[in-house]
Amino acid sequence: MMRRNVLLYLLIVLGCGLGIYFALQTGKNLEPSKFSTPSAAPATPAAGNVLHGFRDNLHEPLSLLLVQLILIILLARVFGAGFVKMGQPAVIGEMLAGIVLGPSVVGALLPGVFQFIFPAPSLGALRMLSQVGVILFMFVVGMELDVKQLRSKAYTAVMVSHAGIVFPYFLGVVFSLFIYQSFASQNATFPAFALFMGIAMSITAFPVLARIIEERGLAKTYLGATAITCAAVDDVTAWTILAFVVAMVKAGNPGSAILTILLLVAFVLVMLFCLKPLLHRALKRETEAATGPTRGVIVGILILVFAAGLFTEVIGVHALFGAFLVGTIMPPETKFRLHLRERLESFSSAFLLPLFFAFTGLRTQIGLLGDWESVAVCLAIIFVATLGKLGGSMFIARWTGMNWHDSFALGALMNTRGLVELIVLNIGFDLGILSPRVFAMMVIMALVTTFMTSPLLSLGDLLRRRSPALAVEPPLA
């Protein structure tokens, strides 16, 4: 039986092969006469020509994009794992990997290689993919917010979170008075520059903070619960302020800004009071299923995320705000949100977000800080940002009754900026508010303030052990 099948297979292959050959020979007689003129046989390409052809193929848009993806994801993974071993969040390593791939390191040491891998015309595709990753990330951030905690609005949380915005915002606006003329973008008005510097100083990276709290075993402590609530209130407040600032900058005149803000307010009201209850009823069966949302539900949610992002982008705010808001109106069931977050975050965090870090790194030119004046201003930005966020949060927390050690730890956690800060900075850069030099300074500030969180928490633990009498922890409500 086996021999018969093999023989039949060989006969079929041979017969079809001969048929194809005779069909091709016969078809030559059908060609127009202009193709019938005999020509010299093509010369065998030299090895150099073959290599040149490979090089040209490598410069094709798809080939170049695949090379970029491989390098970015690999380096982000390596750097992230290295910083995790150092006791730091992986996001710091991924942020640093983006800077290394940019003009600050690879571009300075290997300019030919940098221009070959990241030519300017190829960055459009990289930017679009990175924006999709950030939109999905902001949707996940919106889902991670605990609305019940926001509704309860513990006294300390509201005081600390709002002080952690108002105080650094004030310092950022005042600091702008000293650097506007020398460092701001030529197209940026002072109000736009000052308001944006204020919001950039006020940001807390809620996702990074939540992961630090979980890794250090603080989730069920009074400090951890307070920090999560503070960060949640801070996130909602800061993104709301940023939405209004972006609307005013994009509109260009008060009338257009007011229209944009009214449309944004109407959109928020429709999402919260119309779409949210409808969504909860439509997904009731999915929230009760143990296996999590089906593929069709995930597709529908993604369409909603992109549609909301499209609306906020068209009215002149930013697509991120629409995605963030959709995340906040998802059904509150923990298992449903967990399943949805795992399915989206595994792809966006591992694949798309490193592209955003790389794109940010390609914009960051640390070489612009080659003079002492720029270095001094960069150090001043780090100091002002830390004083405003850590100092303001710490003193208000102490004022509301927390002990000094927990107040210091809470201030250190609120000073964490991470990826969220980079998102804000890229918005400012795209709007022409931040010059390349200020953008580089602010990226360095985001890295430094995120990096210092874990060492400051360890320092606080050391001080707590040496003076336990000053570290009496209030009961967890």
What does the pLDDT read at residue 36? 52
What does the pLDDT read at residue 476? 43
In the chain, how many domains are there?
1
Tens-place pLDDT, residues 106-117: 998 999 989 988
Torsion of CA 268, 252, 307, 277, to 10 degrees: 0
Query: Could you tell me the two tokens for 143?
Result: 């889902």
198 falls within a domain: yes
Tens-place pLDDT, residues 90-143: 888 888 998 999 998 999 899 998 998 898 888 888 889 888 988 888 888 888
Range of the domain at 157: 91-467
Of the candidates 388, 381, 372, 387, the residue with the CA atom closest to the CA atom of residue 439 = 381
68 falls within a domain: no
Cα–Cα distance, 27 to 230 (Å, whole number): 77
- pLDDT under 50: residue ranges of the chain: 41, 474-477
Extended beta strands in 35-137, E state: none
What does the pLDDT read at residue 378? 95
- Neighbouring residues of 326: CB distance < 8 A, sequence distance ≥ 6: 139, 142, 271, 301, 304, 305, 308
C-beta neighbour count of 259 within 10 angstroms? 14
229 falls within a domain: yes
Helices 453-466 + 436-451 axis angle, to 10: 30
What does the pLDDT read at residue 438? 94
40 falls within a domain: no
Of the candidates 269, 265, 272, the residue with the CA atom closest to the CA atom of residue 330 = 272
User: Between the CA of residue 73 and those of 13, 97, 291, 350, 446, what are the distances in Å?
Assistant: 44, 9, 30, 8, 21
86 falls within a domain: no
What does the pLDDT read at residue 35? 53
Token pair 């030519």: residue: 119
28 falls within a domain: no
287 falls within a domain: yes
Q: Residue 260: what residue type?
A: T
Helix or strand or coil: residue 55? helix
Q: Which CATH number does the domain housing residue 123 bear?
A: 1.20.1530.20
268 falls within a domain: yes
